[in-house]
């Protein structure tokens, strides 16, 4: 994906271009990832905190050695900002049921980085994804506002509200009835700094980035997206894609080419939690 295309997607996911915090999140004292988020399920792996309690950042799995074993994690950002309700009411689709169906049909374990606002807009889908053992739901913030600035024109969350924004997203997933929730967080736009990592330290999450950009942002050529992923994947790779029909309309078609070709090369698809176990 070019920087311009990525910027267009991220700017399009924002509801305004000013740097104000209008997420409306209230401070929440409880930890971000309570045990009841995964009733009866084992605790997923996390990375140890960084120096001075900074939130750890995971970008890819082990690239060499037996543990790599040609594994790759496909991740999908389900983007929707706090202020995009009117656009959804007007018919814009921020979901992609066909993509989820393809992943199920192809039996591809995947991690969906979901915003809390998306879960509120599509609670039945959030519940269905979050109850299917093929998937795990990770946190992409509640508001999809930036945690560092500048960030593709996204509005920003104040440092004092960063943890609360993450808390609010986890609460939205639980309210929707999701169970397979993991303590991973992806910064909107991938934008972060030490201030954001420090603010999220008490939330006990691992920040998850990527090493392969799919290029599905506003793409119209599924083959071009597939070719970009196929050219970039290495053992232990973590691919970022999108689960948003209006912003990434060819992702489903691209996945239907990517999966069989990578399997033919000997790759096995895993969720981020499985990739992290091998690190």
Q: Is the predicted pLDDT of residue 37 greater than 90, yes or no?
A: no
pTM above 0.85, yes or no: yes
Q: How far is CA 5 from CA 9, 91, 152, 218, 234, in A?
A: 6, 23, 11, 7, 23
Q: Which residue has the tokens 């271009």?
A: 17
Cα–Cα distance between 267 and 222 in angstroms, integer? 21
Q: Give me the pLDDT at residue 179, please.
A: 96
Question: What is the end-to-end Cα distance of the chain in Å, rounded?
Answer: 26
Single out the residue of 125, 242, 135 nearest to residue 172, CA to CA: 125
Q: What is the mean pLDDT of the chain?
A: 89
DSSP string, 124-168: HHHHHHHH-TTEEEEE--SS--BSSSSSTT--B--HHHHHHHHHH
Q: Is the predicted pLDDT of residue 30 greater than 70, yes or no?
A: no
Single out the residue of 24, 15, 1, 17 nearest to residue 151, CA to CA: 17
Digit-coded pLDDT (tens) for 206-255: 999 999 999 999 999 999 999 999 999 999 999 999 999 999 999 999 99
Cα–Cα distance between 258 and 269 in angstroms, integer? 11
Asked whether the beta carbons of 37 and 204 are under 8 A apart, the reply is no
Q: Give me the pLDDT at residue 38, please.
A: 76
Q: Give me the pLDDT at residue 91, please.
A: 96
Cα–Cα distance between 64 and 84 in angstroms, integer? 42
Q: Is the predicted pLDDT of residue 165 greater than 60, yes or no?
A: yes
- The residue ranking higher by pLDDT, 160 or 6, is 160
Digit-coded pLDDT (tens) for 265-274: 999 999 999 9
Q: Give me the pLDDT at residue 18, please.
A: 38
Reduced to 3 states (helix: H, G, I; strand: E, B; else coil), residue 5 is helix
* Least-confidence region, from 11-15, 46-50, 130-134, 174-178: 11-15
Q: Give me the pLDDT at residue 3, please.
A: 41
Q: Tell me which H or E stretch contains 71.
A: strand 71-78
* Percentage of the chain lying above the pLDDT 90 cut: 80
DSSP letter at 33 equals S
Digit-coded pLDDT (tens) for 52-95: 999 999 999 976 665 558 999 999 999 999 999 999 999 999 99
Q: Give me the pLDDT at residue 42, please.
A: 82
Cα–Cα distance between 63 and 236 in angstroms, integer? 5
Q: Give me the pLDDT at residue 68, please.
A: 55
Contacts of 67 (CB under 8 A, 6+ apart): 61, 278, 279
Which two three-digit tokens encode residue 211?
């090493």
Cα–Cα distance between 174 and 74 in angstroms, integer? 23
Asked whether the beta carbons of 205 and 183 are under 8 A apart, the reply is yes
């Amino acid at each position: 994906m070019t920087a311009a295309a990525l910027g267009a997607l991220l700017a399009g996911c924002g509801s305004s271009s000013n740097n104000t915090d209008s997420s409306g999140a209230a401070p929440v004292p409880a930890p971000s990832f309570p045990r009841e988020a995964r009733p009866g399920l084992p605790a997923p792996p996390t990375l140890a905190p960084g120096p001075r309690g900074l939130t750890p950042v995971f970008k890819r799995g082990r690239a060499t050695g037996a543990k790599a074993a040609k594994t790759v994690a496909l991740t999908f950002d389900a983007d929707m900002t706090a202020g995009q309700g009117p656009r959804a009411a007007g018919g814009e689709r921020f979901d992609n049921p066909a993509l989820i169906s393809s992943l199920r049909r192809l039996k591809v374990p995947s991690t969906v980085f979901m915003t809390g606002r998306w879960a509120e807009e599509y609670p039945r889908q959030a519940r269905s994804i979050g109850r299917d053992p093929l998937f795990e739901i990770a946190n992409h913030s509640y508001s999809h506002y930036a945690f560092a600035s500048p960030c593709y024109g996204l509005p920003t969350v104040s440092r004092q509200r960063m943890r609360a924004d993450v808390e609010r997203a986890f609460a939205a997933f639980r309210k929707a009835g999701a169970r397979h929730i993991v303590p991973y967080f992806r910064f909107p736009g991938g934008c972060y700094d030490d201030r954001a990592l420090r603010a999220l330290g008490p939330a006990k999450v691992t920040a998850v980035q990527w090493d392969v950009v799919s290029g599905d942002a506003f793409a119209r050529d599924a083959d071009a997206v597939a070719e970009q992923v196929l050219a970039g994947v290495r053992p232990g790779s973590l691919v970022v894609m999108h689960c948003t029909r209006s912003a990434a309309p060819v992702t489903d078609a691209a996945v239907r080419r990517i999966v069989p070709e990578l399997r033919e090369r000997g790759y096995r698809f895993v969720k981020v939690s499985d990739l992290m176990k091998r690190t």
